[in-house]
Structures are given as structure tokens and as C-alpha cells.
A and B are shown apart, each in its own frame.
Chain A
């Protein structure tokens, strides 16, 4: 359990920062031209960006953008993907066939390229980034949910529910979804990390948040032009992004171990033998 708390603590800390950012006395968009590219000082220890804006303030506000996008995209993708995958697998027939073909088509195309194309067509903006990333992210959940339901629907308790005339929506909601939730939660934790990187990538390409709003991706993009004269512009958001993505990946990894009943049983058995 303690192995989960460390990455979870990091993520919750940033999530709390993202949540409280509007209430904090920050001035992320206050331009102060004489401070352009000034490095860290006791007053502003992360320094200023290419418009004389405090990097610390922008980092905190940028976290809000990253977490907001990650939360919305993963929630939307999880709901849509799980529903489609579950219904397709349970109903079977041509509905499942169509779903599998659609998933194959989406998987055949690199996700980030599709997101770039969509964001490019719809125009820059954080709302369009959410739509673009959601469009490419649901596939993973749908595939996982479908695979899980295909094995679960042959179990005795499901057959029993069918035998006593339980309606299919109720079977899905009560007897299938609770059983497949563990792998989906693990997938969502990995998905959060991918979406944070996806948002950063799209903002890096100019398709994400629009000036003067801050996001980690746009901060890194702006900073790369000044690597020689002001590396602090890239280092702060770069480390923050790396830390959060690493924490999300580690959390997903450890959640998988923790939720894996077989793994837990094996560990207990090993303990008993010793």
C-alpha cells in the first residue's frame, strides 16, 4: 500500500495545486518587460519567461490546464470506450464486428498524428484539444473492456442472471462492469500520463492553449527558443511534466500489482512457505 502512496501523493499534490490555482495570489499573465528572461532570484526563484512573466506562477496555472485536460479526456474516453467495448462484446454479432473494425481502423493510425490532424482541422484551443485527444483515446478502453467482457460473460453468475431473466443492461451494470473495473482503472492511470504528454505535444505544436494562457507544453515550446540564453524556461516545466508522468506511470504499475488477485495470492503463498 505504501508503494502506491508515494506516486499517488505526488499526483494529488499537483491536482490540489491545479484545483486551488484560481484562489492563489498568482499573476501568470502579468507582463513585465524589464524582467524578460531574468533568471531565478529570492523573490522569484524560478525566474521569468520571454515576456517577463513569473515562471513559478505559470507552472502552477499550467498544471491546472494539464490536469483539466487529462481528467476530462480520460473520463470521456473511459466512459465511451468501456460502454462500447462492453456492449459490443456482450451483444456480439454484427455490432461487435463493426466495433472491432472501427477499433482496428483507429489503431492502424498513429494516435498522436490523428490528434494533430483533428486539432489542426478544428483550430487551436483547449476545447478542441480535449475533443481531439478523446477521439483517439477511447479505443484503448474499448478494446480492453471488450476483451474482459468476452471472458466474463461465460461465467456462471452471468449465465445464472440470464437464466432468471435479468435484462441485459442490468447484467452489464451489476455483473460485468464491477468485475472489469480494476484493469480499466489501471489503464486510466496510464492513460492520464499519455494525455498529459499529448496535451503538451499539441500545445508544443501551437495547437493547444492559446496565448496568454499557460500549459506545460506551451511553456516548453516557448522555452526551447531560449535554450542557449535562458535554460530555466525549459527546465522547470520539463521537470514538472516528467515528474507527473513518471508518477502516473508508477501508480498505474503498482495499482496493477495491487489489484491483481493472482499476484496477491502468490505473494501470500510465498510468505507462508518462507
Chain B
């Protein structure tokens, strides 16, 4: 069988060889599973765009490993509960067109987003801003409608030049920011060329949707590195390749099962609790995810400053699950029947099939249906489901609970897709929102997470790790918990000839 595998790999590599790109170029090539959809940070929402835009644009504030806001482009001082003053660190970060980034650019960027006519998807969390006034070129004030201790953490959107905003310059096509990388070209949808400013090194981001083809390109040296979006088995296969190296870091992307609270079966707490106990997370993580994940107890990971570290883990206990179903009035003759929707991504279908099997072991009849992403996501937003699985990506601030679980956050106002309505949860969220300081907020959010662990509007599954795979000569990449590509600012080749 080993020979057969080698034969397959060789055949595929030969086929791939016919489509090789210019091997003489010394640019770093980074493999992507999906292309960035928008290079304008005022509009970008997908993960790939957000990660690329971090390279192209600077932002006022960033997050540390505990998800606390820390200065990036600017320091800040809180002058009153509704007044923040930001001081820019000047001269370090001119825009790529040579102009200096000033407080006027910051104001123009955020004023643009706050203008409802511009339909920026980032407007909702920033609606707390009452007005922005510029003190001078290096400092500006943000005045809020109400006290919001989390506010600095909202200012993570890349700053774009005021001059270009005024002229409606198409930044989504030709981005001009002040980040460590500048835009060179985008010959087509699958290729994006950036320039690392400090050493004029070219980087090419190549979109290769198929994981096997991406893997073969990495093995053939057509791409130098990639991150995530590979089946665990392929990662294990690449770990045995001496020309490659694999790095892992714990991630925070939260996978979960969601339920409809308007459905007669899934709105029953006993049924949701039975589902939680019927799933063997550790077995799935070990055998299917190749150990590259950790069981989740809540939407926020325990290392988050607002995370609940003392939540009891949900145990795998099929007997308890059967007893709960019996208590809910179900039996083998009259089992609960649930339609489980998932996307048509093969890996998600694979996980869903395992969950379907495990739920059937305790007497829950699951009808699995996979749909293309547009149909699936449309159904989820419209509440057309009994049970579904999805993941939250890039969560930084705890106000996500307001967006996801408050009874007033039913789409389109928020992401309470299951129509979960709990007066207790609402009370915790409202108190956390109104809390004057982070300590009080943390207390309410922890209590909220205990309440959610009891009512289970979501059944938490796991946080998937981030995996970075590169050619052996590629060095210096530091992985981030949120999976961003900031490590590319330091990446280099060890081979002197290549430099």
C-alpha cells in the first residue's frame, strides 16, 4: 500500500508539474484555501480578508494573548466614562503612498463607518460612538453615548487615508494602508502580490481551494507555506515529509451545535442536555482531529479575561443521555427526530456524520442534510433549522454574548439564530453591558456563562488548533491564537542562496 501511495503522489506531482509557476522567483508563496473577498478594511468581514488586511493596514488597538486591548497605532487615556483620548505614535507608519497617517485619517475612517449610508458591516458595534473630534495631528477624542469599558477593543479596524476616502478611491482593488506590507498587484482572483516594506521582499498569496492540490503544491515547492484548512490526515502525512515542518498552536475558533427554540423537540432542555452527553468529544478530537483541538465549555476560551475557568466539563455519558431522553418522554419506540443541517464542506459533513452516529447510539434519530454555504447560512439566519453546527471565528470581546444570546438579537439585529429567549440571560447581559468597569463586567459574563452551560442554547464542541506548515528553509513565523498572518513580518529563508 505504501508503494501505491507513493505512486499516487508521484502521478499527481507530475500532473501538477505542468502547471508550475515561475520557479526562478524568490518571493515567498503562501497558500490560501479561499481568496480574500475585500481588501478594504471598512467592508471586509471574512477571515482571510481580515488577516490580509492586518498586513496592509494599521489599527489603533490590538489584543494580547488574554484578549485584553493593548495599544497598536495609539495609546489611550480614559478621561471620563464616555470620553477616550487617543495619542498616535507618529512617523513610524506613513501610508504606502508616502503621506503621513494623522488623527484626521483616523476620524475619517471611523466617520465613514458610522455613516449609515455607507452600509459598513462594522457599524453596529461602533454605534456607541457619539462623535469624534481631532485635537491635533497626533491626538483625537472619542465621545460615547454611554459608558463602555470595552470600547478601546472596538477600534481594531484598519486606518485608511482621509484623502482617498474623500475621493472614493477603490481601496478594495488597490489597498493603500500603513501596515508592514504594501499592495503590488492582483493579477486575478487567485493571486495577490504584496511587498514586505522593511526588506522589499515579495509575497504571493495563492488561492488553491482543494486541500490535496494545496498539499501537493507545498510538497513540490510551488508554495512555501500555508496555514489551516487541511484534513488532519494530510497534516499527519506532511509531518513525515523531511522537506517540511509543521507548527501547531491552540486556537480559539469555537465549534458548536446550535438549536432552534421554536421547535418542539430541540427547545426541550432535557433533549439538548442528552445531546451534550451523547457526544464523545475526546474520541473525535483524538481520532478525527488528530489531537489538534481542545474540548470547549463556553464560547470564550478559559484564557480570555472574561472566560469562565470554573465551568464543569460536559462529560460523555450515553447512559445519562438515554435517561434524560426517557425523562423527556421519549423511548426507542418513540425517539426524538431531529434534522441536522451542515455545510457541504467535506470535513464538516464528516464531523456531522460522526455526531449523527453518536446521537443515534442513545436513541436520537438524526436526519443529516448538507447544503452549499449560501443555502445553509441563509437557512440558519432565517431560523429554518432544528439543529446545525457552525463555528465562531476571531472572537475577541465578550459583547459577543449580547450579539448571540440576547433575546433582542434575533437576525437581522444580531446572531441569536435559534431564537433563544431567557430573561435571566438577558438580565446578565444587560448588567454586563451597563457595568462601569472590566472587573464587574467579567463577574456578570462568568455568571452568564454558567447560566448558558445549564440551559445549553449551544452545545460547545471544541476549539480547533491552528496549524502552520512550511518548507523546512522557511523560518521565523510566529503563530497567533486567532490565526492571523502577522508572523509573515518576520519570516525568512535559512538558505543563504535563496536570499
Chain A contact residues, CB within 8 Å of chain B:
29, 31, 33-34, 36-37, 39-40, 50-52, 120, 123-124, 206, 210-212, 221-222, 224-232, 235
Contact = CB atoms under 8 A, between A and B. Distances in A.
Given A36-B287, A206-B344, A227 B8 contact: yes
Contacts of A39: 1
Contacts of B8: 227-228, 231
Given A33-B284, A210-B368, A211-B368, A228 B5 contact: yes
Contacts of A51: 350, 353-354, 357
Contacts of B346: 221-222, 225
Given A33-B354, A34-B287, A211-B353, A124 B369 contact: yes
B298 interface: no
A225 B231 contact: yes
Interface stretch (B24-32, B169-177, B233-241): B233-241
26 contacts: A29-B357, A31-B357, A33-B287, A36-B288, A37-B233, A40-B1, A50-B350, A51-B353, A51-B354, A123-B371, A124-B370, A124-B371, A206-B344, A211-B368, A211-B370, A212-B353, A225-B211, A226-B233, A228-B8, A228-B216, A229-B233, A229-B234, A230-B5, A231-B1, A231-B4, A231-B5
Nearest to A47: B1
B370 A230 contact: no
A211 B354 CA distance: 10
A232 B5 CA distance: 9
A226 B215 CA distance: 11
Contacts of B12: 227-228
A235 B5 CA distance: 11
Contacts of A52: 287
B352 A211 contact: yes
Nearest to A235: B4
Interface residues of B, number: 34
A228 B356 contact: no
A39 B5 CA distance: 11
Tell me which of B216, B283, B287, B356 has the highest count of chain A C-beta atoms within 10 A of its own C-beta: B287
B115 to A, nearest CB: 38
A153 B211 CA distance: 58
A52 to B, nearest CB: 8
Given A34-B287, A40-B1, A124-B369, A227 B353 contact: no
B27 to A, nearest CB: 26
B9 A228 contact: yes
A8 B16 CA distance: 39
B349 A228 contact: no
Contacts of B237: 228-229
A246 to B, nearest CB: 22
A197 to B, nearest CB: 21
A31 B358 CA distance: 9
